[in-house]
Structure 1
Amino acid sequence: MSTFYQPAALGEALSLLAGADRPAVLAGGTDIVVARREGKRADTAYLDITRIPELRETAQAEGGVTLGAAVTFSEMENSTVLQTHFPLLCQAAASVGSPQIRSRGTVGGNVANASPAADVAPALAALDAVALVQSKSGARRVPVAELIEGAAKTALDPGELIVSFFIPALPPDTRQGFDKIGRRNALSIARLNGACALTARGGKIAQARLCIGAATNRPHRFAEAEALLCGRAPDEALFAEAGKLISAAILEETGTRASSVYKLPVAAEFTAALLRKTWEEGI
């Protein structure tokens, strides 16, 4: 029989995480419960974090927005604050699973689970989001792009908990976009996904933020492609060139795989289409 903890205060949760039980953190349970049912986990203690107020808040803060780690995908999708400032996060949240999964799954779980196919993690990485990570001994801030180190691997130390994410405000006239390719139109695990923010100035791209997910073992920002876009007037040739750069970078990182014949050309076309849609129709 497993022990189940449900603290209502952050300090109590951090003390339990530092205790001898070393409970597994449980929020929506959309990953951990399935893994236990399939015999892939056998935790003896669980820590439910859904009643901790600090983890449930989404609010404007100085210089950006704070998003609690236990905020669900449905709450993200319908958040007035996110719709106003970071609609691509709403798009990413809306693309996750089914309504049932979105009503349970959380943004912190999406990052901590570190699935290469996660939908919200690339959106956070594209926005330069920073995670507030706490333990009983202290707190630290880690960029989401650095917190996820690989498939099912994060930079979290034992006893640490993701409390919230800070998303810095974007410059004026920044157009945002998110897209995803799956095997079907709904309840689909991403084969590729991507988040993009393009800042326009004088008809050119002044700043580009681009993160592609599900192509490598972690959300990947492509600095070379971002640099290529900056200072250029956008057109089909530029977007296609950026897509080819990203396809080549994916190949360099992952090497040739059985899926490369499909994934590499699709990554190039997907990236070009995401850039074009963001520039022309971006929210």
Structure 2
Amino acid sequence: MDISTVSELVRTADPQQWRPGDAWLAGGTVLYSNGSEDLQRLLDITGAGWEPLTVSDAGLEIAATCTIAELYAFPDAVPADRQWQALNLVRPCCESFVASFKVWNVSTVGGNICTGLPAGPMTALTAALDGVALIHSPDGTSRRVPVAELVVGDCRTALAPGELLRSISVPAAALRARTAFRQLSLTRLGRSGVLLIGRLDEDGGFVLTVTAATKRPVQLRFATLPDAAGLRAELNETIDASLWHDDVHGLPQWRHYMTDRLGEEIRAQLAAPEPAPVP
């Protein structure tokens, strides 16, 4: 779609350049799909030169401009001695886009998070691994926000006008954890109606992250792996009726039921002994 109100394209990643009527442009797959009646300038950050993925002892930094295709290829490039078994989540989350290779090669991790879609798989991935977003503001300051708190509702985020998502930092401890992934759509090529990720940390702590079924990410944290009744009770207490998402991709009642069911599948999978490595 053409955005006929836009009269200028500015190549910059400096939030101090932002003014009302501007929008940040990365892949643009959602921006151009939705269109606009009031945008005047696009601030193009694709030339910022940010390294897509940076590995360190602290963990992994994912640039906001990292494309889905770059992230999908990343697990094959990680040294084996990192033992980041949670990278098993990367490809299922990328595949939850149900998008063509053309979209994968331009759509970005940061863009998917900033759209605030309940079904955003990059929100699910980074929130489930305790990712923390680095945000630059027009006043020259920066702040860090957990991704689980960055998306606050259906297509709503905690970003203030002009703020720019620079990167997401994922801690090494979360990357070393055992994980389990479950995703459902009403149709084979449909948008996610339910997407859950479970994580069993090295210290025995259990984290369940619920997305797509809810309007914003919901995380449940336990010091130890709960039993089935304990998990269901916590889910029902934490997610009230107003949080269940309701659109053509699934009724709230169905999302609620499948969240309970898939949550228990995840809990049972992580409660079982860890499979022996394939020789």
Q: Pick closer, same or farther for the CA change 1:118–1:33 going to 2, 3 Å.
A: same
The aligned residue for residue 3 of structure 1 is 7
Contact 2:90 2:125 in 1 (8 A): yes
Query: What aligned pairs does 1:1-283 form with structure 2 within 5 A after superposition?
Result: 1=4, 2-7=6-11, 10=13, 13-17=14-18, 19=19, 22-36=21-35, 41-54=37-50, 56-79=51-74, 80-81=77-78, 85=84, 86-87=86-87, 88-98=89-99, 99-136=101-138, 137-170=140-173, 174-186=177-189, 188-199=190-201, 206-223=204-221, 226-227=222-223, 230=224, 238-239=227-228, 241-254=230-243, 259-278=251-270
Q: Distance in 1 between matches of 2:118 and 2:199?
A: 21
Amino acid paired to 2:259 = A
User: How much has 1:260 moved relative to structure 2?
Assistant: 3.7
* 3-state DSSP of counterpart to 2:253: helix
Q: Taking structure 2 as the reference length, what is the TM-score of the superposition? A: 0.81
Q: Mean Cα displacement is larger for which, 24-33 or 82-91?
A: 82-91
Amino acid paired to 2:239 = I
- Relative to total residues, which structure has the larger helix share, 1 or 2? 1
Q: Pick closer, same or farther for the CA change 1:82–1:265 going to 2, 3 Å.
A: farther
Gaps of 5+ in 2: none
Q: Pick closer, same or farther for the CA change 1:59–1:175 going to 2, 3 Å.
A: same
* 3-state DSSP of counterpart to 2:205: strand
* 3-state DSSP of counterpart to 1:53: coil
Q: Pick closer, same or farther for the CA change 1:71–1:217 going to 2, 3 Å.
A: same
User: How much has 1:178 moved relative to structure 2?
Assistant: 2.2
Q: Distance in 2 between matches of 1:279 and 1:94?
A: 26
Q: Pick closer, same or farther for the CA change 1:178–1:100 going to 2, 3 Å.
A: farther
After superposition, the CA RMSD in angstroms is 2.9
Q: Distance in 2 between matches of 1:94 and 1:211?
A: 18
* 3-state DSSP of counterpart to 1:178: strand
Contact 1:211 1:222 in 2 (8 A): yes
User: How much has 1:76 moved relative to structure 2?
Assistant: 0.8
Amino acid paired to 1:161 = L
Q: Mean Cα displacement is larger for which, 161-170 or 263-272?
A: 263-272
The aligned residue for residue 235 of structure 1 is none
Contact 1:215 1:250 in 2 (8 A): no
Contact 2:213 2:244 in 1 (8 A): no
Contact 1:193 1:212 in 2 (8 A): yes
Q: Distance in 2 between matches of 1:124 and 1:259?
A: 25
Q: Distance in 2 between matches of 1:278 and 1:185?
A: 26
User: How much has 1:245 moved relative to structure 2?
Assistant: 3.2
Q: Pick closer, same or farther for the CA change 1:276–1:28 going to 2, 3 Å.
A: farther
Q: Distance in 1 between matches of 2:124 and 2:186?
A: 19
* 3-state DSSP of counterpart to 2:173: coil
What is the aligned length? 260
Deviation track 1:154-175 (CA, whole Å, cap 9, x = no partner) reads 1112221000011111269621
User: How much has 1:4 moved relative to structure 2?
Assistant: 3.7
Amino acid paired to 1:274 = I
User: How much has 1:215 moved relative to structure 2?
Assistant: 2.1
Deviation track 1:61-82 (CA, whole Å, cap 9, x = no partner) reads 3411110001111111111349
Once superposed, which parts of structure 1, at least 4 consecutive aligned residues long, lie more than 6 Å away? 255-258
* 3-state DSSP of counterpart to 1:149: strand
